[in-house]
Structure 1
């Protein structure tokens, strides 16, 4: 070991979480004291998010194809229970949002607004969009970041190469390892990127514009915190019968914080891959479940759709029964899963949910406008919940499996990690 490490070596070997915290504090300070300088530093955040978005499609495509091609015959990738957890978690998030919105109703001050966006007209359109994303050209899917299409082509290539000769599989695995190292290098510069993101966000918006919608934000964030700290741990406990909080807090700290500032589940895929590797989960499992989770595991999005829809309903004084509330939970969950790639994210699905209650589209679009105003906090918290939950449920399913292939023999399994920390 070098007794006199250079500054770069100290940076690369230091605690990434601590460095991110320092970046956040420094960003707030610069934005508050030197707002004019903050604008010139915003390129750091854009550069970091751009780098993550650039490597994520390649990483997912190569890693998924390599994992499937090199999978040992008879090995259990444990994906089915993970998908079940994704769907259950998304539905419970929507149901929780219904209950909290019922006891803490939100009314909004609506006015005429102009939004240049076209929401989907129904579930059929959402599913139609999903199907066309599946059959997208692979090059176009990589260029546009269509992760549903990327997953489809990567899985197809992986199965096609599953019976290839060993040399081909070794080459594919080496390429996968090379891309992973590039991703690790990008992630090491997260403190600088998050510093730029925090600086530009505080300099541009601050919190003045959010104060008028404080009640709506409290309800939204309250739902997300409840899911993150109560519902998700309960699901993990039922699945694993162990103390869930060491895993939950680790995922929130190392995945949720980064996702909060990047505001992109796709950009956070490399971060989650690294965290799964640190938790010693089997690569055959997380190389598929993490990009899949970034597509269909949308607890935060279902909360946003539900809370803002019921805010419109309460504002107009519309009464609804429990059956309609349950239907709203189902629609919010399905819409969030099936249309994660729609421009504008979860907000443009609000008119679809509002149609269940007969809310005029003009009113629904005004609610969408309010969503964009509070988006600096809402979208960040939503992404943090979505992305961190991908790792939580993947780890929980791995822990619950009795299959010894789930973890490597020469590393500490995630179950032992949680036992030691509990």
Structure 2
């Protein structure tokens, strides 16, 4: 526990130091040392090596942990019950998130009186969105090996569940195989702990790179929009998640957020739910007290389909773009935005920038110009980092609630160490 507290502090120091360093470097005139050696040299290499190190483990960790979790549950009905609880929780909180965002946006009116000519710097390049029907069809992989190679997480999860259920049904006949997956899971968690040792340095370099290239001049016209998104993110995290945690588990939201801080910090620096997954799983098991059976199932699923932070950005951005273009959204259009954003979250991966793809779908659904995405592209990276932190917090709260209701939660772990610090 002492090691974890020390690591948390180091990550926070790395994040703040990277922020300050990035701002200083941005304001230094262009030169070979800062641009080539530091920003595009040391910072780029160390930051990307850290990111690749954790991305390297995502697919094997998800596959192994879900096989292990599904096989150890023993009861297929229990697995189905937990799966239904998880899906309902994710969909409801996503709908709540975007509703909060739209409500706050209409109070603040972030797009009223904005001169677009000061903001638009480039044409949007948006990837093609995938219809929901195709997303459902694609859940079952035609080639599971190819799905792993491509990093298609929904397909990896589906294949892992099949194997886990098969191992559970066969019982003693495949005991050795089940034991092997348990050992592989232990191995993956050990590898995660190794990567976490370099996390403070990786976080520093990623944050320094981001802020050294992100000019505040681009932010000023959009500060109202940015603050609206950030306020909605904080409100959803504190009120919605904190309230759910307190009501359904009786646990202290303050202690939960504090103990989950290492994962939140990594999510902020990487802007990727998928990349943060190994750290999220380690933190939720070792610091929060959730059993491996639950965490190995709900967290990978959440990193794939639960995008509350991204939904908040879409809600605010939709209102913002409609106000900039002078297009009024009626009640039916707002309802369409809520439904589209909630369902769109199922079909997008937890990688940086995916929110812009989802936003293009939402804008199309209510007849708003997709060109409006160009208004927010310049500052989306910063908001992407913020909403990713909220995304994984939602995954963690859902996992904790389900673990508590299923009797798969160790409250001694949750209350240990930080107890005195918080009282």
Mark yes or no: TM-score above 0.5. Answer: yes
Q: Which residue of 2 aligns with 1:8?
A: none
Q: Which residue of 1 aligns with 2:143?
A: 137
Would the alpha carbon gap of residues 300 and 134 (structure 1) be closer, same or farther in structure 2, given more than 3 Å must change?
Answer: farther
CA shift, 1:270, in A, is 0.4
Indicate the larger mover: 386-395 or 316-325: 316-325
Q: Which residue of 1 aligns with 2:99?
A: 95
8 Å CA contact 2:306–2:346 kept in 1: the answer is yes
Would the alpha carbon gap of residues 41 and 350 (structure 1) be closer, same or farther in structure 2, given more than 3 Å must change?
Answer: same
Q: Map residues 333-372 of structure 1 onto 2, 5 A cutoff.
A: 333-340=342-349, 344-359=353-368, 363-365=369-371, 367-372=372-377
Q: Which residue of 1 aligns with 2:268?
A: 260
Q: Which residue of 2 aligns with 1:191?
A: 200
Would the alpha carbon gap of residues 14 and 168 (structure 1) be closer, same or farther in structure 2, given more than 3 Å must change?
Answer: same
| Alignment RMSD | 2.7
Q: Which residue of 1 aligns with 2:56?
A: 54
Q: Which residue of 2 aligns with 1:35?
A: 34
CA shift, 1:259, in A, is 0.1
Unpaired segments ≥5 residues, structure 1: 1-10
CA shift, 1:231, in A, is 1.7
8 Å CA contact 1:133–1:149 kept in 2: the answer is yes
Indicate the larger mover: 332-341 or 33-42: 33-42
Q: Which residue of 2 aligns with 1:373?
A: 378
8 Å CA contact 2:94–2:307 kept in 1: the answer is yes
CA shift, 1:208, in A, is 3.1
Matched, 1:21 2:30: no
Q: Distance in 2 between matches of 1:353 and 1:117?
A: 13
Matched, 1:305 2:311: no
Q: Map residues 214-293 of structure 1 onto 2, 5 A cutoff.
A: 214-251=223-260, 253-278=261-286, 279-293=288-302
Indicate the larger mover: 257-266 or 328-337: 328-337
Would the alpha carbon gap of residues 167 and 48 (structure 1) be closer, same or farther in structure 2, given more than 3 Å must change?
Answer: same
CA shift, 1:140, in A, is 2.1
Q: Distance in 2 between matches of 1:390 and 1:62?
A: 19
Matched, 1:44 2:46: yes
Structure 1 counterpart SS, 2:289: coil
Q: Displaced runs of 4+ in structure 1, greater than 3 A?
A: 11-14, 28-31, 33-37, 72-80, 108-113, 340-344, 413-422
Structure 2 counterpart SS, 1:281: coil
Which of 202, 205, 208 is matched with 2:214 structurally? 205
CA shift, 1:101, in A, is 1.1
8 Å CA contact 1:45–1:197 kept in 2: the answer is yes
Q: Distance in 1 between matches of 2:189 and 2:375?
A: 39
Q: Which residue of 1 aligns with 2:330?
A: 321
Would the alpha carbon gap of residues 320 and 165 (structure 1) be closer, same or farther in structure 2, given more than 3 Å must change?
Answer: closer
Would the alpha carbon gap of residues 415 and 203 (structure 1) be closer, same or farther in structure 2, given more than 3 Å must change?
Answer: closer
8 Å CA contact 1:44–1:195 kept in 2: the answer is no
Would the alpha carbon gap of residues 285 and 418 (structure 1) be closer, same or farther in structure 2, given more than 3 Å must change?
Answer: farther
> Cα deviations across residues 8-46 of structure 1 (Å, max 9, x unaligned)?
xxx977711111122123324544267344312221111
Q: Map residues 112-131 of structure 1 onto 2, 5 A cutoff.
A: 113-120=122-129, 125-131=131-137
Matched, 1:396 2:387: no
CA shift, 1:55, in A, is 0.5
8 Å CA contact 2:86–2:402 kept in 1: the answer is yes
Would the alpha carbon gap of residues 306 and 25 (structure 1) be closer, same or farther in structure 2, given more than 3 Å must change?
Answer: closer
Q: Distance in 1 between matches of 2:70 and 2:20?
A: 47
TM-score with structure 2 length normalisation?
Answer: 0.86
Indicate the larger mover: 70-79 or 47-56: 70-79
TM-score with structure 1 length normalisation?
Answer: 0.86
8 Å CA contact 2:8–2:262 kept in 1: the answer is yes
Q: Distance in 1 between matches of 2:127 and 2:180?
A: 45
